[in-house]
Structures are given as structure tokens and as C-alpha cells.
Amino acid sequence: MSGFVSRLNTAVAKSPVGRWFMLEGSSHPRARPNAKFSTEIRAGFATFVTMAYIISVNSLIISETGGTCVCDFDPLDPTKGGNAAGNGVLGSSGADRIAYCSANAEYMACVDIIRKDLIVATAAMACIASTAIGFFSNLPLGMAPGMGINAYFTYTVVGKFGSGKISYQVALAAVFIEGIVFLILSILGLRQWLARSIPRNIKVATGVGIGLYLCFIGMQSSAGIGLIRSDPATLVGLGGCNSEFLDASGACLSNRMESPRTWMGVLGLFIISILVLYKVKGAILIGILFVAVTSWFRNSAVTYFPHDPTGDNRFNYFKQVVSFHTIQKTWAVMDFQFNTGEFWLALITFLYVDILDTTGTMFSMAQFAGFMDPKTGDFEGSTPAFITDALCVTLGAVFGTSDVTVFVESGAGITEGGRTGLTAIMTGFCFFISLFFSPIFSAIPPWATGPALIFVGSLMTKSVTEINFNYIGDSIPAFLTLAMMPLTYNIAYGLLGGLLAAVVINGTVYIVEKLSRGRLVPPNKDERDPVMSFRMGPQGEGVLPPWLVRLIRKLKGKDPLEHAEHGVDAGNSQETLPIPEKQAKTEFMDDVDASEVNDNVIPETFTDNSTMTSTASGIDHATSRRKSHQRNSISSDRL
């Protein structure tokens, strides 16, 4: 079997497909070490399995808007759920509207159709987006309608069953316009420019924060093992109890840590950890499938199909094996009502969240995979990746769903060895299959995917050692970034908190130093990270997008490739790493097996490798950092 796989990897690598995706052995001058076809396929499937929950979760959340279904609620008519206090405005008497519409059988039947529409829409958009970003950007990233932003779309903008300020159709129009704005920003290079201007410590902290965020999701019950539950006194507390011991808020009243499902999830985490410890390929996937298959037996204590109405419905759907539903009520229903203030508020909010959330996630995944270039502060294929993301946001609105984004669960595939766009294309293919086999894929319980999220989260926190804790101006913004992400359940809020702290603290230091003419400075200011600049590119091209820089250089008669030796060309999916760094990376990766990639992805992302060498040689950490900063001062000024 291993001989067949080896021959298959060689054949694909030598084909045009292998050269396009820069597989190892493809004779491409920038072939990616240990990027093998079989590894990419396995990694793509691992990413899909950890993302598969979005098919059911996203459809459930957004269907609670009521979609295009019409409820005859009248806030002024007591016979239609209203009362005399209503003012007839959309969204007034929200609790009354929700209660009345929930009891309306015809309306709820329509909502069920909306949910089925959104199952197809979610899977279809995940298929299209993942395939597109893999093909055009050659990045191992999975995309789908994002968690967090879908909850904001449903419960804040539209409101449950239309109890918000704007309708489902108008909210989709806001998402559609936001995607167009994003596309313009991406083409002009402004989105990348904004991301490059983020200080290095906050970028590193973003990856750590997303790791903690993933762990937090994996420990909850909605998409995890149920180890953590809500608590009326402390917000969160120990869970692990069976459903009969939950109160109305979802908190465990008693019998904590007695749920067989929670313990099955814990077992899955241990299985993954031990298999990775012994370098077993596909460890994450094996752990997920073990827990999932175990949960398909109806009479077991951990079954996903209990003998109750909910379990019966799941099992009946599961037995269908093959099922396809055509979109009926959510396709192209946008309503462009620009004359409402709520529309513009929703548009601005979607834009702000996506700039911070999606861009931050994409940079963190690129860093996790080892694609970041320390000289440019950019990653391979950034421009096509951002353009693809923007187009998919717009297309997602046409399908009837909220913003499409890069998923942090992509870390599962990267951990499995995914290094090229083939990983993303495989993920997209799996979502395509799920359109027809959704009963099977929807039967993967959350306590099967939760262990994978926890494990990947632990790997992403390794880079916390790269944060400069010696200087308060670097450490506090970074700490707020990584702490606020899981605690606010929002990546964007963490980034915003860290950036605000960086501006206030370092801005104050700058002003005091200027006013005192350099006499009042922090004693250890020389230990801070190099100050980031709004200039970017090896030639300091400013905010101009890379494709425009190359065009200008060509029109001026200069070779647009003459500066390739300086680093990554941010706008091209065929960029090069700096020559010494590329050689070092190749030598590093040649010494390990692909199954060991989980141990290697974090070191590849280090921009200050002196931290590792200083530990071995006994050199003081702060002194090593200062020397590294001096060595890289020219490169840092160009970030």
C-alpha cells in the first residue's frame, strides 16, 4: 500500500497539477517541502471534518431570523400577538412577536424550509469558497459562513423571527455591499496594508488568542464536548452533566462530570494526543472518526440518536444516506433599502468585524502554516486570497447566508501536514459531497469534533513564547488581544482591544518623549519590538498594491522580478522566500517526516529565531532579542 501511495505522490507531483500547487518533487523552483498529494488529501479531509458542524449550526442560527417567511404578527392587534403598547414598527414588542410566531404552525413550517435551504447554501458556499481560495491562492485554508458573525446577523441585526430593526432581505443586502467594498479594498491593496500595520506582538497574540478561542469552543456543548457550561454566578463553570440536570440557562444544577458524552470527548482528546505523540499519521482524523462511529449505535450511552423525538428525527434523516434539497426561499432575495440608518449601521459593523476578524484569522493561519515572511510582514498569495474572500462574501449573500470567512479549524488540516491549495480543494470537494450525503456528515456529533478543536488550539498557543513580555508597551496589548478573544467570544474584539492598548500606551510614551526632548523615556525602551511602519514591500512601495507596483516598474523599464531576492511578492501566489531562509526551511523540513509537521509549523513562523538559540547557549533572552532586532532593523522598517 505504501508503495502505491509513493508512486501516486510521484505521479501527481510530476504532473501539471503538482507544478501548479508546488508539490515536493514537482521540479518547481519553489516547491514546498513535504507537500505530498496523499498528505494534502488527508489534511483536506481533516479540515472538513472539523468544519462539518457549520452545516447544521449555521443553518440553525440563521433560520431563526425567519428568513423570507411572513408572520402575521401585529403589535397593535391583540388577536395577532400584539398589545396596545406596540407602535407598529418592525421589531417592536420583540418578545411578543417571537412568542406568537413560534406558536404559528404555518410560519414554523416555512422556517423549516428556510433551514433546509440554508443547509444547502452553507455547504455550497463552503465548497465554492474553499475550492477557490485553494486554486487561486494555493493556501490550505477552509472557508465557510463564519461563526460569530452569523449570530450577530441573526440576533442583533435581524432579530429572532424578524424582531430586529431591519429585515432578513435588507441585512443580506448589507452583506452583499460589504463584499463589494471588501473587493475594492483588496484590489487596491488597502486591506493587506491595514493588516501589515498591526504590530508583530499583536499578530503573534492573535494566533495564540485564536488557539484559546478554539479550545473554548471545543469545551462547550454546542460544538464541543460539554466540559464547560454557563453558570449564573461566574458566567462559565464546570459542566459534563446530562440534559436532565440542566436548568433553563443551560447550567448544570448537579451531577457534574457524569455525562458519558463528555467522557467520550475526553477519551477522543487522549486518543488524538497519544497518536500524535507516537507520530501516527491522520491522528486527528482517527480520533474524530472513532468517537463519531461509536456515537451511531442507538442503544449506547453516548448515542447521537437517543430514543426521543429529536433522536428519532436525526436517525430517520441519517438512514436516508443520500438526500438533496433545492433552495426555494433564500436565493437572491436582497432588498437594497439604502434609506434606512439601520442598513448603514449594519453595513459598517459587518465591514469592521470582517476587516479585523477575517483578516486576523487569515494572517494567523498563514503564520501557523509557516507562510509569513518576516521582511514584508505578508504571506504567500495574500492578494488573491483576499479577493477570493471578498467575492465569496458577496456570493454568500446571494445564497442567503451571512459573511463567508476563513475558518480557524483550518489549523486541523495544517497540523495534518496540509501545505498547499490541494488541502483546501479537498475540503471543498468534501463539502460538495455533503450536498448529497448530508445525512451522514450531519451525524458527526459535537463531542467528536470538540477534541480536535482543543488539540489544535493547544498547538496554536505555542507561539506565546514569541511575545515580548520584557516591555510593557508590547506585552499588555498582546495580552489583551489573546485574553479578550475567548472571553468575548469574538476575534475582532480581541484585536480591537489590543490595538487600542498599543495606541494609548505607546502613543503616550512617544508624546512624553517628544515633549521632554528625549529626557523621559522608559528605562527598558531598547527592549521593545521594532516599531511597525505603514511602508511595505522590499522597495518601500507604501500602500500601492503589489500588482500595481509590478506594472509601474515594468512601464518604467525596470525588471519587476529584480527584487525577488528580497522576499515574498505579496500579490503573487508564486512568491519566493528570502534565499537563506528558504534554504534553512528546506534543510529543517528535510530532517523530519510529514507526520511530524505538528511539531514544526510553529517554529517556522518565528520571526525572531534568536529566542530558541539563546535558550540553548545560555545567553540572556532580552540581550538576544535586542541583537536580533539590530540584525533585522532594515527589514522591520519596511513592515
Low-confidence ranges of the chain (pLDDT < 70): 1, 74-94, 148, 192, 195-196, 281-282, 356, 375-377, 531-550, 558-639
Determine the Cα–Cα distance for residues 587 and 265; give it in Å rounded to an integer.
Answer: 38
What is the per-residue pLDDT for 377?
Answer: 66
C-alpha cell at 320: 436516508
Determine the Cα–Cα distance for residues 223 and 248; give it in Å rounded to an integer.
Answer: 19
The residue ranges of every structural domain in the chain are 1-27, 32-82+101-466
End-to-end CA distance of the chain: 47
What is the per-residue pLDDT for 502?
Answer: 93
Residue that the C-alpha cell 459531497 belongs to: 433
The pLDDT tens digits for 226-241 are 999 988 888 889 998 8
Q: Which residues contact 451 (CB under 8 A, 6 or more apart)?
A: 218, 225, 265, 266, 268, 269, 271, 272, 287, 288, 291
Of 575, 577, 595, 599, the closest CA to residue 586 belongs to 577
Determine the Cα–Cα distance for residues 214 and 452; give it in Å rounded to an integer.
Answer: 9
β-pairing, 378-379 vs 404-406, is unpaired
Determine the Cα–Cα distance for residues 479 and 345; give it in Å rounded to an integer.
Answer: 30
Please provide residue 145's backbone torsions phi and psi, each rounded to the nearest 5 degrees.
-55, 130
What is the per-residue pLDDT for 35?
Answer: 87
Determine the Cα–Cα distance for residues 181 and 188; give it in Å rounded to an integer.
Answer: 11
β-pairing, 228-231 vs 235-238, is antiparallel
C-alpha cell at 44: 483536506
The pLDDT tens digits for 376-392 are 667 778 888 889 999 99
C-alpha cell at 442: 450531519
For residue 404, give the H/E element and its range. Answer: strand 404-406
Residue that the C-alpha cell 507604501 belongs to: 542
Say if residues 628 and 608 touch (Cβ distance below 8 Å).
Answer: yes
Determine the Cα–Cα distance for residues 331 and 401; give it in Å rounded to an integer.
Answer: 9
Of 140, 40, 139, 34, the closest CA to residue 594 belongs to 34
Say if residues 524 and 620 touch (Cβ distance below 8 Å).
Answer: no
